[in-house]
Amino acid sequence: MASRNQYRCICFAMLFILVTIASQATSRSLPEAAMHEKHEQWMARYGRVYKDIAEKNKRFKIFEENVEHIESFNRANQKAYKLSINEFADLTNEEFKTTRNRFKGHECSPATTSFKYENVTAVPSTMDWRKKGAVTPIKDQGQCGCCWAFSAVAAMEGITQLKTGKLISLSEQELVDCDTSGEDQGCEGGLMDNAFDFIQQNHGLSTEANYPYQGNEFQLQEVKLEHQIHNLRNLQLHNYYSL
């Protein structure tokens, strides 16, 4: 009798252990299943397709780590802003920087003339050019490594607004397609200095409306220059690194 009761106790204990293990496994699999579902939804939203299952699994792990970081950051609630999932959620920081930043750094040559405003001291501690109406809405360069073109165009848009009072979106695509004779090589990177030289030599830049951004390199197109730049040297470009 005693042995039968002992046997029942052992069976009950084993059953309890198995149920506990199964419950823990289920609780772990539920978040993982939810994460996989979130990844699938993200892929559908951004049209992401992987070459094989190995690549998909690799990208899922990166996606999962990024999502966990986002959720942890938002739970901490220590900043005035929140993070959210975007189209780069399956990239590491290094991959993101490699694909988005193709700026070709170089040593600056000594200035040949003095800086026009070097003796100006009565300047504000900060300046938000958006409030002055000199900054166009945020643009997206996509997977094309032409940050140099966006940087140069943003400067020209602001300068044009300050000089004419009109804020007009100019064409990054023209630089990507046409400014390719030197360091600037479309989606493979470039320099803002060379872009400024190109704009000056061609007496201006087309508008984005006439020459819209495509996020890729295309053949040189004949464009209409809506805004000519006649006196670019007055911008003191050799000093923009010290701003």
Q: What is the pLDDT along the chain (243 residues), one digit of tens a residue?
A: 555 556 555 555 555 454 444 444 433 445 788 999 999 999 999 889 999 999 999 999 999 999 999 999 999 999 999 999 998 899 998 888 777 665 555 555 555 566 677 788 888 889 899 999 999 999 988 878 888 899 999 999 999 999 999 999 999 999 999 988 877 777 888 888 889 999 998 888 999 999 999 888 765 555 555 554 544 444 444 444 333
The answer as to whether 11 is a domain residue is yes
pLDDT of res. 172: 93
Look up residue 160 and give its amino acid: T
Residue 201: closest CA among 219, 173, 181: 181
pTM of the shown model: 0.61
The answer as to whether 112 is a domain residue is no
Strand partners, 227: 205
Judge residue 12's burial from the number of C-beta atoms within 10 Å of its C-beta, 0-12 exposed, 13-18 middle, 19 or more buried.
Answer: exposed
Residue 35 domain boundaries:
2-76
Instruction: Please state, as a whole number, how many other Cβ atoms lie within 10 Å of the Cβ of residue 142.
Output: 15
The answer as to whether 131 is a domain residue is no
Instruction: Please state, as a whole number, how many other Cβ atoms lie within 10 Å of the Cβ of residue 120.
Output: 8
End-of-domain residue from the set 21, 52, 76: 76
The answer as to whether 59 is a domain residue is yes
The answer as to whether 180 is a domain residue is yes
Locate 87 and state its tokens.
């189209």
Residue 194 sits in a domain of what CATH number? 3.90.70.10
pLDDT of res. 191: 86
Q: For residues 204 and 156, what is the distance between their CA atoms, to the nearest angstrom?
A: 10
DSSP 8-state secondary structure symbol assigned to residue 216:
S
pLDDT of res. 238: 42
Residue 88: closest CA among 80, 77, 100, 78: 100
The answer as to whether 110 is a domain residue is no
End-of-domain residue from the set 30, 61, 76: 76
- In total, how many domains does the chain have? 2
Contact between 243 and 191 under an 8 Å Cβ cutoff? The reply is no
Is residue 120 left, alpha or beta, with left meaning phi > 0 and alpha meaning psi from -120 to 50? beta
Q: For residues 40 and 59, what is the distance between their CA atoms, to the nearest angstrom?
A: 11
The answer as to whether 203 is a domain residue is yes
| Shared-domain flag, residues 152 and 72 | no
Residue 156: closest CA among 199, 189, 123, 194: 199
| Shared-domain flag, residues 238 and 151 | yes
Q: For residues 114 and 193, what is the distance between their CA atoms, to the nearest angstrom?
A: 18
End-of-domain residue from the set 42, 58, 76: 76
The number of angstroms, rounded, from the C-alpha of 150 to the middle of its chain's C-alpha atoms is 12
pLDDT of res. 146: 87
Question: What SS3 state is found at 15?
Answer: helix
Q: Which residue has the tokens 């970081």?
A: 69
The answer as to whether 122 is a domain residue is no
Give the residue ranges of DSSP H helices in the chain. 2-46, 53-76, 93-100, 147-164, 172-178, 192-201
Contact between 163 and 122 under an 8 Å Cβ cutoff? The reply is no
pLDDT of res. 12: 52
Look up residue 8 and give its amino acid: R
